[in-house]
Amino acid sequence: MSRLIPNRLQWTFWLGLLPGCLSVSLFAAEVDSSKLPPAAQVKIDFTRDIKPILENSCLRCHGPEKPKSRFRLDSREAALKGGENGVDILPDNSAKSPLILYVARLVPDMEMPPPDKGKPLTQEQISLLRTWIDQGLAWETAAPVSALAFSVSPTLRWTTVSGNEQKFREHYWQREGWNGGLERFDSDEQLSSDSHLHAAGHFLLDDYRLQLALEKNEVGFVHTGWEQYRKYYSDTGGYYPAFAPPASRLGRDLHVDTGRAWIDFGLTLPDWPRMVLGYEYQYRNGEESTLQWGDVVQNGIDRKIAPASQQINEHAHIIKFDLEHAIAGVRIEDSFRGEYYNLNTSRTNSFFLPAIGSTMADSANENYKHFQGANTFRLEKQFSDWLFTSGGYLYSKLSADTTFNVDTLNISGPFPLSEYHAHSQQITLSRESHVLNLNALLGPWEGLNLSGGVLSEWTRQRGFGNVDLDEISPGPPFSPIVVSLLSDLDKASVEESAALRYTRIPFTTLFAEVRLRQESIGQFEEEIGSFEEFLRKTDFSSQLYDLRAGFSTSPWQWVSLSAHYRRSDDSSNYHHTLDEAPIGIPGSGYSAFILGRDLASDEVETKIVLRPLRWLKTTLSYKLLSTDYRTDTEPVGGDISPGGQILAGKYDSHIYSLNTTITPYQRLYLATTFSYQDSTTITANNGSTAIVPYRGDVYSALVSGTYVLSQVSDLFLAYSFSYADFSQGNFGSATAGGLPVGIRYQPHGIQAGLTRRIGKNLITRLQYNYFYYDEPTSGTINNYTAHALFATLTYTFH
């Protein structure tokens, strides 16, 4: 190799080594090596004599990952190379090797293992290490591990569905028919002692992932990859039992492909800041279902149950830069993100307008794009054993513009009587935020830990634009009036958190936490020129507190118990200093109807883990959640509403869960999880027959078991079940009742599989799946039964 180095560089290279060699010699001369135990008079077997010492006392700090002083003891080459203090092992000369002097604790402040990191080596162990060095530092004699390790799992799958195949796809994120490809592949090639290439991923129908990583220790890395998966949507809408048919389907394959591709270049040079520069592209494309259902009219009854969908095309390009470094014990982080985002949506929904007896169609198209830049700078410092602090500052700026066109057309009935068109000119939004965060962690003192933080945010947002609006002209020509929109928002908020832990009670931890938030928003909204023009100026303020206290304990080997109580209250106040609709006439806008809100929640949760026998573990948990929603309202003229505070809604829920793991003997593993939840949501509905309380139960049961048939075969069986009943009966005539959107369903799933190992490198797996779904509250339109067969082969080489 030296021939490749020019003479001048050779000198530089050897001179560079000189201080290290000199330091070893000078340092060794200062230590009295006569105090060393003598070398053992044996022939060293590395695996028998040395490897246990290294594993138990050295590799904790001097392994391949983040080695202390950059000294590694996981290979002969690395051990001889030494670390940042120079050479630590002199072959054939254990008495002068710093490693031996360190483990013999002859060098002050360099005792190895350090006092708090492990027990000192025995005299016998030091003797063995001396002999090992003196005999030439022999290493592992076992066959060397291959530089390449990989596994690949080709699979072939077949699924058949009878019934609503779209619903099946939505529930299980897969489609019926043939599927196949690579369920998983993983390859890791050791290119050299300090660099490797890793590739992993899977390739199945509509579900792909490939990630590559090239890494070299103390130099850098390149990480790149691409992934995409498909989300499926049901094509059914609502259900109205009095109609024939009571529900319908779009008959289209609704799905959205979601994906991202990325590449990151990282620099990890010693003593340099760790830097990563990257680019990421995220996207979503396809047609998704929406809950903007269209009309179905029968016998004079109009209910919005026709299924609907929208096209979505979303792209985000993100530039990333991260920097991390430590200077004088201060850890510095900086993270920049620049994002360009482009969104296009398009949808058409039909609806029936009873007033004119016509079916209308809404066609809405939107384009939105923004650029957002955000930078976070953060510092961390451990001041002492009991004080650790961090602080960060985030600045972000967003600039967005959007266009929105909606055309409501009369597509049936007599000559168009009413249409609505809104074509926006460019609408512009800007937003700027400053966020400051300070945190500290104190302790422990006598078993007490205290942590806390403050997060402050200042945000200013401006939005304005013009819309060409034509609300009444029947059909073409489009006769627009120009409507101006304006919206400003200035927000200031402070959030504080604190947590206390106390651990001095035997086998117990006590904790108490509090989170507070104060927020104020000045908001101005205006719409000029339309028939619904309005002007509103609101000073909003809110206060939140969230308290929690509880304990964890494990007083006996067979039990551990935890419990907490939590109380939160989020109180908001809307002070409307201006409320004009139309402009000039105060007090008639809807928004100004709400004067205040209060959400108060109570939560109790407890969990007990029992392990009465070595082979039996049971976890039981219970959670209670209760929330009251209170709203302050202003009076409405004409004796419509006297105003005042009202309990607008109330939510109560109880969740009971049970998990049991049983391993009665080595061949059998059984696990079951059962969960039951009942919940009720009631709102003040003033006797309306359209709205009924939303209440019901959800049961879930998951059971799985593995039985080892033989040394090469395992049997796997799993069963899942859930049942929910939130059904509602609020339907009737055109002027009574409403739309029963509650749900009752029960799915069953069974998986049975056999795994067989063939030789050292091959595993085969055959699996059968059964799925059944019944939803009486949609008639039978959502029901399905499915069977699936999976055959997978895994070949591993290393």
Partner 1 sequence: MAPPQIEGATFVGDRVCYDCHTNISRVFPASPHARLRLDHSQMAGQQGCESCHGPASKHVAVGGGRGRFIVNPGHDPEACFSCHLEIQAAFHLPQHHPVLEGKMNCVQCHDPHGMDIMKPAGGLAMSRLNQNCAACHRNQTRRFIFEHEAMREGCTVCHDPHGSINAKMLVQRDSNLCLKCHAQIQGPGAGGIGHLYIGKIDHTDLVRYGTCWSAGCHTAIHGSNVHPRMLY
Contacts of residue 625, defined as CB under 8 A and 6 or more positions apart, other chains included, come to 601, 602, 603, 651, 652, 653, 654, 655
> Please, what is the minimum distance in Å from the beta carbon of residue 529 to partner 1?
13
Binding residue for partner 1, selected from 61, 90, 161, 250, defined by CB under 8 A: 61
Stretch that binds partner 1, among 2-10, 23-31, 558-566, 764-772 (CB under 8 A): 558-566
Residue 262 contacts residue 239 (beta carbons within 8 Å): no
In the region spanning residues 298 to 357, those forming contacts with partner 1, defined by CB under 8 A, are: 302-305, 312, 314, 316, 331, 341, 343, 345, 349, 351
Cα 390 to its chain centre, rounded Å, is: 23
Residues in 374-433 at the binding interface with partner 1, rule: CB under 8 A: 378, 380, 382, 388-390, 392, 398, 400, 402, 404, 406, 422, 424, 427, 429, 431
Verify binding: residue 754, partner 1, rule CB under 8 A. no
Candidate residues 143, 639, 711, 760; the one interacting with partner 1 per rule CB under 8 A? 639
Choose between 37 and 463: whose C-beta lies nearer to partner 1: 463
CA-nearest of 493, 487, 494 to 523 is 487
Residue 95 or 186 having the CB closest to partner 1: 186
Secondary structure of 415-442 as H, E, C letters: CCCCCEEEEECCEEEEEEEEEEEEEEEE
CA distance 474 to 564: 63
The verdict on 444 binding partner 1 (CB under 8 A) reads: yes
> Residue 768, interface with partner 1 (CB under 8 A)?
no
Site string for partner 1, 480-519 (x = CB under 8 A): -----x-x-x-----x-x-x-x-x--xxxx-x-x-----x
Is 295 a binder of partner 1 (CB under 8 A)?
yes
Q: CB atoms < 10 A from the CB of 593, how many?
A: 19
Q: Which is nearer to partner 1, 264 or 362 (CB)?
A: 362
Specify whether the CB–CB gap between 236 and 782 falls below 8 A.
yes
The smaller minimum CB distance to partner 1, of residues 98 and 238, is found at: 238
Shortest Cβ 289–partner 1 spacing (Å): 8
The reply on whether position 543 binds partner 1 by CB under 8 A is no
741 binds partner 1 (CB under 8 A): yes
Note whether 617 binds partner 1 by CB under 8 A.
Answer: yes
Q: Is 449 in the site for partner 1 (CB under 8 A)?
A: yes
Spatial separation of the C-alpha atoms in residues 742 and 727, rounded to whole Å: 4
What's the token pair of residue 360? 């209308």
| Piece in contact with partner 1 (CB under 8 A), picked from 4-12, 27-35, 82-90, 439-447 | 439-447
Q: Compute the least distance from the CB of residue 23 to partner 1, in Å.
A: 25
Euclidean distance between the first and the last CA atom of the chain, given in angstroms as a whole number:
31
Beta bridge partners of 276: 266, 322
Ramachandran quadrant class, 264 (left: phi over 0; alpha: psi -120 to 50; beta: rest):
beta
- Interface of this chain with partner 1, residues 189 to 228, rule: CB under 8 A: none
Among positions 63-82, residues that touch partner 1 (CB under 8 A) are 63-68, 72, 74
Under the binding rule (CB under 8 A), the answer on residue 720 touching partner 1 is yes
As a three-state string, the secondary structure of 99-163 is HHHHHCCCCCCCCCCCCCCCCCCCHHHHHHHHHHHHCCCCCCCCCCCCCEEEEEEEEEEEEEEEE
Q: Whole-number minimum distance, CB 766 to partner 1, in Å? A: 20
CA angle 593–597–601, rounded 5-degree value: 155
The residue (of 82 and 443) whose beta carbon lies closer to partner 1 is 443
Give the residue, chosen from 79, 161, 737, 763, that forms a contact with partner 1 under the rule CB under 8 A: 737
Q: Assign 3-state DSSP to the chain and report helix, strand, coil percentages, each to 5.
A: 10, 60, 25
**Residue of 189, 257, 362, 471 interacting with partner 1 (CB under 8 A):** 362
Residue recorded with tokens 């299980």: 172
Q: Which residues pair with 797 in a beta bridge?
A: 150
Name residue 189's amino acid. Answer: E
Under rule CB under 8 A, which residues in 122-161 are in contact with partner 1? none
For the bound state, the minimum distance from the C-beta of residue 322 to partner 1, rounded and expressed in Å, comes to: 11
* CB count in 10 Å sphere of residue 254: 21
Residue 597 interacts with partner 1 (CB under 8 A)? yes
* Three-state secondary structure call for residue 48: helix
